Amino acid sequence: MKLAVVGATGLVGSEILEVLDEHQFPFDELLLVASERSAGKKMTYKGKEYTVIGLKQAVSEKPDVAIFSAGGSTSLEWAPQFAAVGTIVIDNSSAWRMDATKKLVVPEINAKDLRIDDRIIANPNCSTIQMVLVLNPLRLKYGIKRIVVSTYQSVTGTGKAAVDQMMAERAGQPAEMVYPHKIDLNVLPHIDVFQPNGYTKEEMKMILETKKIFGDNSIQVTATTVRIPTMGGHSESVNVEFHNDFDLDEVREILSNTPGVVVQDDPANNIYPMPLTAHKKDEVFVGRLRRDESQPNTLNMWIVADNLRKGAATNAVQIAEYLMEHSMA
């Protein structure tokens, strides 16, 4: 197994390396890949020094699997070149997610749809992953009619430069502006670019990706995505209307038995999901489970996950693990 991590010097890239180590992912050779300007840089991983290589050299090495976290334009240009030499690309960007010829995969939900000839596999958006992982078992039990989601997303979703902006502002120092406004002590109802319909690209990702992952265009989804000055994970307030009625105790039982989901729902003792406690965890946490008393068959919930983990690195590594376990890589 020759494994490449493309974008190894970035925030998600370093998280991918950490998850590979924690999961004891079996590889014989590791290629750390980045842009040409980072080629030649030295990195230490598990006590061994590696020299970062450029994309052109990485393609010539013909890795078995390449986990990409290097941005959409890089993925559009280079993923097909890796695929052409037989590499399976697992891509973290938005480049391939809505391509009808590419699978959009959350392993617990639809890895079974992967085939040996899938050379480019898309990792969903971080905020989409944590929501659909929780909703999927409830969808199978009760059927979903409509989802209303509002997100509270960490600055780490934008990258290191955004973290640097927030921390500089917090320290009262001049900051390189990644966002159009100050982020510390502020809330921005603006993630990615605004679209002609008034929604942001991030909001449309959640709407369209949810339908694709579930394979059900009849599910109505509306989203408001918001950036807040936190680190550690994304939070979501989710209101879901089912076709059939539910029992709250049964909902808790179903979610408690869902792989990758942890129920934290004891408000009497101030136990509920928070980014602070989800940080560096692979699981998705759900709590504040309660009926929407304004209409029938409707549930409110609060979902939190480390966006760099299950929202990116962990999901990508789990896809690679599935490919290995099923002799597809």
> What is the C-alpha to C-alpha distance for residues 165 and 244, in angstroms, rounded to an integer?
46
Terminal-to-terminal C-alpha distance of the chain: 8
251 with 135, same domain: the answer is yes
246 with 145, same domain: the answer is yes
192 with 275, same domain: the answer is yes
**Could you tell me which of 7, 234, 258, 96 has the C-alpha nearest to residue 83?**
96
CATH number at residue 95: 3.40.50.720
Q: CB–CB of 148/300 below 8 Å? A: no
Give domain status of residue 179, yes or no. no
Q: Taking every pair of C-alpha atoms in the chain, what is the biggest distance, in angstroms?
A: 60
Please name the helix (run of DSSP H) or strand (run of DSSP E) that holds residue 21, with its range, or none: helix 11-22
Give domain status of residue 78, yes or no. yes
30 with 148, same domain: the answer is no
Give domain status of residue 56, yes or no. yes
Q: Which pLDDT score, from 0 to 100, does residue 213 have?
A: 98
Q: Which pLDDT score, from 0 to 100, does residue 151 have?
A: 98
Q: Which pLDDT score, from 0 to 100, does residue 269 have?
A: 98
CATH number at residue 232: 3.30.360.10
Query: Where are the alpha helices (H) located in 89-186, listed in sequence order?
Result: 107-110, 126-142, 160-170
Give per-residue pLDDT as tens, 16-46: 999 999 999 999 999 999 988 889 999 999 9
Binding residues are: 9-12, 37-38, 97, 153, 227, 307
37 with 106, same domain: the answer is yes
Model confidence band, residue 329 (pLDDT cutoffs 50, 70, 90): confident
Range of the domain at 265: 127-154+187-305
Binding residues for NADP(+) are: 9-12, 37-38, 307
Number of domains present in the structure of the chain: 2
Q: pTM of the entire structure? A: 0.96
Sorted by sequence, the CB contacts under 8 Å of residue 81 that are 6+ apart come out as 55, 59
Work out the number of other CB atoms within 10 angstroms of the CB of residue 294: 7
Model confidence band, residue 308 (pLDDT cutoffs 50, 70, 90): very high
141 with 264, same domain: the answer is yes
202 with 324, same domain: the answer is no
Catalytic sites, residue numbers:
126, 234
Q: Which pLDDT score, from 0 to 100, does residue 36 have?
A: 86
210 with 115, same domain: the answer is no
Q: Which pLDDT score, from 0 to 100, does residue 206 have?
A: 98
278 with 290, same domain: the answer is yes
